[in-house]
Structure formats: C-alpha cells, structure tokens
Amino acid sequence: MDLTVDHVPFAWHDLDEITGVFERLGLTPEYGGVHDNGVTHMSVLGFEDRSYVELIAERAPGEHDFWPEHIAADAGPAAWCIRVPDVVAECKRVLDRGHPVRGPLYGARERDDGSLAEWDRAEFGRPENRLALPFAIEDRTPLSYRVSPTPGMADGPLTGIAQVVIGVMDLEESIQTFRHLYRLPEPFRESVEGLGTVAAFPGQPLALAAPDGTEWLADRLDRLPEGPCAVLLGTEDLGAAADAFPLRGSKPWPVGRVAFFDDDRLGYRLGVVERPG
C-alpha cells in the first residue's frame, strides 16, 4: 500500500525557540494554536502537498501524552502520522495483521480565529515500537482547518515531507515488520555518514536507519524509543534547494541524494532529499 505522510511532530521544550531556529533557516512556521489537552501548543510548516512539520512544545505545566519525553529532550522528530480515508478500516486492517491498536481517539485544536479543527487518530503497535510505526489520522473537519501551505513554501523548491527516517536497533527485523504491515517492496540500502546504515523503500516516504558507528543515533536510541530520528523534505533540484536554504554538502542516499540543514542544534534531524525523476 502507498503511505501518505500527513505530518511529523517536531518536539522542543520551547515553541518560540524552535520556531526561531526554523526561521533562521528560511523556514517560517505559522502558529497553529493550543491542543485540547490545554498543555501543548504548536506551529505549522505546511507544504503544497498538505504535508507539514508540526513544531510542538508545552505552554504550561501539566500531564499529556503528546511525547513529553521528547519535548523535554529537545528531540525533534517524535512520531509520524499518515493520512487515511477511513481510520476505523485502518484499525481493522492493522489488527488483522497482528498488531495492537489504540483508538480511534478524538482530537481537536482551537485555531487563532476561534474555529475548531477536529480529527480522529489511532496508534498502532506494542509500547516498544509504537513510535516507530505511524499513527493514522482521519479529519472530521476540512483538512484546510489543520494545514495550508505556509507563505513562501508554495512557490519554492521544497515539495513537502518526502521521507521520514526511523531510528531502529535491528534493521533486518524492522524491515520485515514494515514490509509485512504495509506490503512494501524490498528497500535499497546505503551507508550514510551521520546516520549509519539506511534502508529506504522505493516509492514510499519511509527509510530506516540503524547505528553503524554513529554515536548520536546510538545515544538517541539509548535514551528514547525507536522512532523517527530525521525528517527529509523533498525537492526536485537539490542545487536549487541549496541556493535557497543553508544546507551542508550533499551525500549519497539509497535513492537520490540528501543534504542536511546547517544548524548544530538540529544536526541530522532535518534535511532535504532529491529523488531522480
């Protein structure tokens, strides 16, 4: 099945701080409002394909289940979400494949204009791999209530979220899990400096990375569960993207080439990938 990335939550302890980091890179998110838990709030970096990066942080002390461990650690990518036409049907499909399901769960966010964006979501997998697997979302209100292209993104060289990179300990086992659950093709593999051994599934917005002498990824997996470790924005022309944004030198990727944003705080957690036509 084809996966459609809806968004990637990018967790940070302070929303203004991480918004400033993105702005200095030429990426200007728009404030998206407060979640219905009353504790977390977010900003949106939206693209023409309606995928988006969700900068998320806590606005007040309190308990919530929106990745508090990742927020406290300034972890960046904390989870990933796919858009589905029928979340109940997706829950049944995942159950039939032998994976636990949590949901559907109601969610909402009050926008600055006072309107309410509403949706249903479902989480999949066991506690130890729940963040590695995507959660699914189905909108109750129009999708435009949650996301629209951020000004400056619609006519630029970035096309949306092209790949989510999942940090895993056992690459072969994770490959088999994703292939079974989503009927994916055999991935292409590449040793990528800074990320370790990467397996990317052709035609899909998903790659897996396992530490291979990569200290930061190994350290991340020691501190946090398996899950997204990097989000890659797509482009048809990596040179044009490098002219528009501060990117480090490009590297080979299993399919195409990749370059990461030049910011020490983000490291390898935000990049741009070019795929051959």
Each residue's pLDDT tens digit in the chain (277 positions)?
789 999 999 999 999 999 999 999 999 999 988 887 889 999 999 999 999 999 999 998 888 888 999 999 999 999 999 999 999 999 999 999 999 999 999 988 887 788 888 999 999 998 888 899 999 999 999 998 888 888 887 778 999 999 999 999 999 999 999 999 999 999 999 999 889 999 999 999 999 999 987 789 999 999 999 999 999 999 999 999 999 999 999 999 998 999 999 999 999 999 999 975 5
The SS3 call for residue 165 is: strand
Instruction: Report the CATH architecture of 158-274.
Output: Roll (3.10)
Contacts of 217 (CB under 8 A, 6+ apart): 167, 195, 196, 209, 210, 211, 229, 268
Judging by beta carbons within 10 Å of its beta carbon (0-12, 13-18, 19+), is residue 21 exposed, middle or buried? middle
| DSSP, res 82 | E
SS3 content of the chain, % helix, strand, coil (to 5): 20, 35, 45
Q: Where are the domains of the chain?
A: 5-144, 158-274
* CATH architecture for the domain at 5-144: Roll (3.10)
Q: Classify residue 67 by its DSSP letter.
A: -
In this prediction, residue 151 carries a pLDDT of 86
* Cβ pair 225, 2 in contact under 8 A: no
> Residue 107 forms beta bridges with which residues?
119
**What is the predicted pLDDT for the residue at 105?**
93
Question: What pLDDT sits at residue 276?
Answer: 59
CA 35, CA 14: separation in Å to the nearest integer? Answer: 15
Buried b (16+ CB within 10 A) or exposed e, 80-118: bbbbbeebeebbebbeeeebebebbeebbbbeeeeeebe
What are the helix (H) ranges across the chain? 15-24, 68-72, 87-96, 171-182, 215-223, 238-244
| Fold: same for 5-144 and 158-274 | yes
pLDDT of residue 148: 85
Give me 60's structure tokens.
């007040």
* CA gap 13, 211 in Å, rounded: 26
